[in-house]
Amino acid sequence: MFIIQSSNYLQFLAKFGIGGAHPGGINLSKALFEHENIQRGVDILDVGCGTGQTAAYLASFYQANVTGIDVHPLMIEKARQRMQKTHLAVNLIEGSIEQTSIEKESFDFILAESVLAFVNQQRALQEIFRLLKKGGRFIAIEFTLPATLPSQLAQEIQQFYGFESLLTKKDWVTLLQQAGFHNIRIQKNKSISSQHEFHFSQHIEPELLDVMDEHMTMNEKYGKYLDYRIYSCTK
Residue-wise pLDDT for 211-221, tens only, equals 988 988 998 88
Task: Tell me, yes or no, whether 1 lies in a domain.
Answer: no
Per the structure, the complete domain to which residue 150 belongs is given by 9-234
CB 72: neighbour CB atoms within 10 A?
18
Strand pairing category for 228-234 and 132-143? antiparallel
Task: Tell me, yes or no, whether 158 lies in a domain.
Answer: yes
Task: Tell me, yes or no, whether 33 lies in a domain.
Answer: yes
**Residue, of 8 and 179, whose pLDDT is higher:** 179
Q: Tell me: pLDDT of 3 over 90.
A: no
Between the alpha carbon of residue 221 and those of residues 147, 161, 180, the distances in Å are 16, 14, 37
Rounded mean pLDDT, 17-39: 94
Q: How far apart are the first and last CA of the chain?
A: 33
pLDDT of residue 135: 98
How many distinct structural domains can be found in the chain?
1
Look over the chain and give the mean of its residue pLDDT values, rounded to a whole number. Answer: 93
- Residue of 93, 158, 160, 99 lying closest to 124 (CA atoms): 99
Task: Tell me, yes or no, whether 3 lies in a domain.
Answer: no
Task: Tell me, yes or no, whether 37 lies in a domain.
Answer: yes
Q: Is 59 helix (H, G, I), strand (E, B) or coil?
A: helix
Task: Tell me, yes or no, whether 96 lies in a domain.
Answer: yes
Q: Are 51 and 199 in contact (CB under 8 A)?
A: yes
Task: Tell me, yes or no, whether 2 lies in a domain.
Answer: no
Residue-wise pLDDT for 98-107, tens only, equals 999 999 999 9
Task: Tell me, yes or no, whether 166 lies in a domain.
Answer: yes
Q: What is the CATH number of the domain that holds 192?
A: 3.40.50.150
